């Protein structure tokens, strides 16, 4: 999720401690920051060109029945809009900027919900009702009344976050109180025993310390049954790389018939040296919190004011763990957070706002296509989600898909808890519109399966357990798609050779989700995408263009359904560990009111959307294609992606990932069924974009591309002997008809 001013990198999942570098997304005022130029040698684009001696052959398998995917670009190739400042919204949603944003050629828009990323309540409208109307507090439900058009969306901090941060940097608020778990994860709402959804708090000391005691200051409602555990192993909270170890219960760590209040417990005779400790709660007192008994949500779940671990001294007194100067502070993760808040918790500074739905749909930015819309789930209510959908449909705005929640893996939410919320929200939304396509879980960008603490059956796959929960409740049909983000690289570790891994990475993660049990008829969608989860220099070099072409082509080769590149709006440039860069397609002035140039992803997008495929034309069919151009280490230097378009043209996108050498190729189309081999015939449109058209110059505030030229087009006569040159570090699209095949009519 692109994040304004504050962001969490994909690699970091610390509870409370943020170690990200340059932020993902729209800066608070979207400003361009000045610094000294930095130009890493690995991304130099001034290497002399040469050409391989003999042409190689690109094979396209056009055998009927061998198509590997079918997609309509108008629903399959899109971009996203993320959080901005209030001033940024006013600037982005102007005719000039919208026209430039759309000129990259992307189709549908995916609306990103950054508020949930930042552990905040999201008011998609300020017109609505509070559950405690007298105090303007509690649980907010937006109104479906069609009043003044919604231009801005505000976020609200959560007082009942308490000490918990759960892995991301939360929006800070003035009324932070105690931690309380989400009431929608209790039996009153799930219809299941609370023991099936234990709520927990993990204490991360940031280093191993000897512990044999704990002090807990309970609030109402408190846990009557709970247990205290320590993690025997390492990386207890690393769901990306999989926690290594097990939770062990202290010898005196099981508590039954507890009475609340502040308690100090001796957990064992001898201290245990560990970094992570967990309080796991399974039965609640169901006593009401300070907000009263009028709302059942105030009276279920668990609440803790403070929690500390330590030891017991010789007199039996509790002694809290002492930190030395220079030690990282103790942090806390929790299973869930109560979305209770009040009118006074609003973040109305103007630096962090989302685009109102009326502005979005009437601005033209959606390309007159149905848009993917989020509903807040981890920190919202099903009634509010249903009201949001009802409002949008009442306005007549078209919805393609509804994403449920935002990055639950980044909040350390366990799959059964997310699934329990998912079903409640699905029920509420489908009462409004039973035909809406709902999905998630909107994972953070990962390259491997997300693995969590083992359940009673020893299962650790987050996705596998989520799918199993839906199956067990006979609700798998409520999962219309699976969405995830794709940020494959660590921002400071990218080299030119990283290019070679992208096709394998994206294909692998799609296969991971299938292996986890996602049915073949459930589409897989990337709904947010870039090189890395933090800004990095290669995002504006020619590297990013080649990567994006491979990213898109390999995704569809692997059977992907919707690809979303992020973001569509202009943003400023900033210094990164590998040079100056922008997330955006553009280089702008300080106010982003004037676009001064284009970045390489912009031109790559045009190659994909305006040369390789044909929007507003219908379904394209993708067929296998291959090359054998490799370097001395066995790295594939040229990749190929072939589609048969509705205009009867075959379109071949070739990515020459060789940084120094051009390659020449012939193209043949093979029909294994008839044994025929044919070539392009007639005029072949050849369009190229690469390092000859574009070179990024690191020059601080004046960083830019020079040259900054668009793709170059030419026409070549196609026949069996035609040879096509692929310049070094380039994307080339070849497009034409082919000689007749005996089985050709079956492809039409």
CATH number at 577 reads: 3.20.20.80
Distance CA 316, CA 322 (A): 17
Q: What percent of the chain has pLDDT over 70?
A: 92
Q: Tell the residue number behind the tokens 């739905």, with chain if given.
A: 357
Among 335, 361, 381, which residue terminates a domain?
A: 335
Do both 589 and 481 map to the same domain?
yes
Beta bridge partners of 227: 254, 280
Q: What percent of the chain has pLDDT over 90?
A: 86
CATH of the domain at 252: 2.60.120.260
Answer yes or no: is pLDDT of 504 > 90.
yes
What separation, in Å, do the N-terminal and C-terminal C-alpha atoms of the chain show?
40
Do both 150 and 192 map to the same domain?
no
**Beta-strand runs (E) in 475-619:** 481-486, 524-529, 562-565, 574-576, 579-581, 586-588, 595-598
Q: For 388-409, what is the mean pLDDT?
A: 97
Determine which helix (DSSP H) or strand (DSSP E) holds 233, and give its type and residue range.
strand 223-234
Do both 400 and 285 map to the same domain?
no
Do both 534 and 470 map to the same domain?
yes
* DSSP code at position 694: E
Between β-strands 77-81 and 562-565, what pairing exists: parallel, antiparallel or unpaired? parallel
User: Sign (positive/negative) of CA torsion 245, 250, 256, 262?
Assistant: negative
Distance CA 482, CA 528 (A): 13
- The pTM assigned to this predicted structure is 0.93
Do both 234 and 302 map to the same domain?
yes
Answer yes or no: is pLDDT of 10 > 70.
no
Among 302, 335, 368, which residue terminates a domain?
A: 335
pLDDT, tens only, 681-735: 999 999 999 999 999 999 998 999 999 999 999 999 999 889 999 999 999 999 9
What per-residue confidence (pLDDT) applies to 8?
Answer: 31
Among 306, 335, 364, which residue terminates a domain?
A: 335
Do both 316 and 382 map to the same domain?
no
Is 213 contained in some domain? yes
Q: Which of 171-180, 629-638, 738-747 bottoms out in mean pLDDT, i.e. has the lowest?
A: 738-747
Count the domains in the chain.
Answer: 2
**Beta-strand runs (E) in 100-181:** 109-111, 121-123, 128-132, 137-142, 152-156, 179-180
Do both 470 and 494 map to the same domain?
yes
151 Cβ contact partners less than 8 Å away, ≥ 6 residues apart: 89, 355, 356, 358, 359
Do both 108 and 148 map to the same domain?
yes
Answer yes or no: is pLDDT of 46 > 60.
no
Q: Tell the residue number behind the tokens 């502005």, with chain if given.
A: 359
What per-residue confidence (pLDDT) applies to 589?
Answer: 72
Is 661 contained in some domain? no
Between β-strands 438-443 and 481-486, what pairing exists: parallel, antiparallel or unpaired? parallel
Is 716 contained in some domain? no
What per-residue confidence (pLDDT) applies to 165?
Answer: 87
Determine which helix (DSSP H) or strand (DSSP E) holds 438, and give its type and residue range.
strand 438-443
Is 566 contained in some domain? yes
| Tally of residues, the chain | 748
Distance CA 214, CA 212 (A): 7
Do both 572 and 598 map to the same domain?
yes
| Beta carbons of 258 and 222 less than 8 angstroms apart | yes
What's the half-sphere exposure (Cβ side, CA atoms, 13 Å) at 20?
A: 24
Average model confidence (pLDDT) across the chain: 92
What are the structure tokens assigned to 366, written together?
A: 């959606």
Determine which helix (DSSP H) or strand (DSSP E) holds 412, and give its type and residue range.
none
Beta bridge partners of 346: 156
* Domain ranges, residue 574: 73-157+346-609
Between β-strands 704-708 and 694-697, what pairing exists: parallel, antiparallel or unpaired? antiparallel
Residue 660 pLDDT class (50, 70, 90 cuts): very high
Answer yes or no: is pLDDT of 45 > 90.
no
């Amino acid at each position: 999720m692109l994040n304004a001013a504050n962001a969490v990198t994909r690699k970091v999942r610390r509870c409370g401690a943020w170690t990200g570098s340059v932020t993902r997304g729209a800066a608070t005022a979207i400003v361009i920051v000045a610094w000294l130029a930095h130009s890493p040698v690995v991304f130099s684009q001034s290497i002399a060109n040469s050409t391989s001696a003999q042409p190689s052959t690109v094979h396209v398998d056009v055998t009927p029945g061998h198509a590997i995917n079918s997609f309509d670009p108008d629903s399959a190739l899109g971009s996203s809009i993320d959080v901005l400042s209030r001033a940024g919204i006013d600037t982005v949603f102007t005719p000039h900027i919208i026209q430039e944003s759309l000129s990259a050629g992307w189709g549908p828009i995916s609306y990103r919900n950054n508020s949930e990323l930042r552990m905040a309540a999201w008011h998609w409208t300020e017109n609505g009702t509070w559950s405690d109307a007298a105090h303007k507090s509690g649980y907010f439900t937006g109104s479906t009344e069609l009043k003044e058009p919604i231009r801005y969306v505000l976020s609200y901090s959560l007082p009942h976050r308490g000490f918990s941060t759960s892995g991301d940097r939360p929006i800070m608020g003035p009324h932070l109180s105690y931690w309380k778990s989400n009431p929608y994860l209790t039996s009153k709402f799930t219809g299941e025993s609370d023991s099936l959804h234990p709520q927990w708090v993990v204490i991360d000391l940031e280093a191993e310390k000897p512990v044999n005691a704990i002090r807990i200051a309970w609030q109402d409602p408190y846990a009557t049954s709970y247990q205290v555990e320590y993690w025997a192993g390492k990386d207890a909270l690393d769901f990306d790389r999989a926690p290594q170890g097990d939770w062990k219960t202290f010898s005196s760590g099981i508590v039954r018939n507890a009475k609340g209040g502040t308690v100090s417990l001796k957990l064992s005779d001898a201290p245990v040296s560990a970094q992570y400790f967990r309080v796991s709660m399974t039965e609640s007192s169901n006593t009401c919190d300070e907000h009263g008994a009028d709302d059942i949500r105030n009276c279920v779940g668990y609440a803790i004011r403070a929690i500390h671990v330590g030891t017991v001294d010789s007199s039996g007194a509790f002694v809290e763990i002492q930190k030395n100067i220079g030690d990282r502070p103790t942090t806390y993760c929790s299973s869930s957070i109560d979305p209770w808040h009040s009118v006074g918790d609003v973040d109305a500074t103007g630096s962090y706002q989302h685009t109102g739905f009326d502005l979005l749909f009437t601005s033209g930015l959606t390309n007159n296509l149905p848009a993917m819309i989020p509903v807040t789930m981890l920190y919202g209510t099903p009634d509010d989600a249903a009201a949001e959908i009802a409002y949008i449909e009442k306005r007549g705005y078209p919805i393609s898909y509804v994403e449920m929640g935002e990055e639950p893996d980044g909040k350390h939410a366990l799959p059964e808890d997310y699934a329990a919320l998912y079903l409640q929200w699905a029920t509420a939304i489908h009462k409004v519109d039973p035909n809406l396509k709902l999905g998630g879980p909107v994972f953070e960008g990962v390259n491997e399966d997300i693995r969590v603490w083992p359940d009673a059956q020893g299962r650790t796959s987050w996705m596998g357990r989520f799918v199993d929960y839906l199956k067990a409740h006979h609700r798998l049909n409520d999962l219309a798609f699976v969405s995830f983000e794709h940020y494959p690289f660590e921002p400071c570790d990218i080299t030119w050779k990283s290019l070679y891994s992208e096709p394998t990475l994206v294909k692998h993660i799609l296969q991971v989700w299938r292996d986890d049990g996602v049915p073949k008829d459930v589409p897989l969608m990337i709904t947010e995408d870039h090189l890395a989860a933090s800004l990095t220099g290669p995002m504006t070099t020619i590297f990013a263009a080649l990567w994006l072409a491979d990213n898109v082509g390999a995704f569809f080769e692997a059977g992907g359904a919707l690809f979303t590149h992020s973001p569509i709006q202009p943003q400023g440039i900033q210094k990164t560990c590998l040079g100056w860069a922008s997330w955006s397609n553009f280089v702008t002035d300080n106010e982003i009111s004037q676009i001064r140039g284009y970045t390489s992803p912009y031109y790559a997008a045009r190659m994909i959307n305006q040369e390789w495929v044909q929007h507003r034309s219908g379904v394209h069919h993708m067929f296998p294609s291959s090359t054998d151009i490799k370097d001395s280490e066995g790295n594939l230097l040229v990749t190929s992606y072939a589609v048969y378009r509705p205009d009867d043209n075959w379109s071949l996108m070739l990515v020459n990932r060789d940084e120094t050498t051009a390659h020449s190729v012939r193209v043949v189309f093979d029909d294994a069924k008839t044994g025929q081999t044919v070539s392009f015939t007639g005029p072949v449109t050849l369009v190229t974009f690469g390092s000859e058209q574009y070179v990024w110059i690191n020059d601080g505030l004046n960083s830019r591309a020079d040259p900054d030229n668009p793709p170059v087009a030419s026409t070549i006569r196609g026949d069996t002997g035609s040879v096509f040159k692929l310049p070094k570090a380039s994307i080339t699209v070849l497009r034409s008809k082919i000689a007749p095949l005996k089985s050709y009519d079956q492809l039409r």
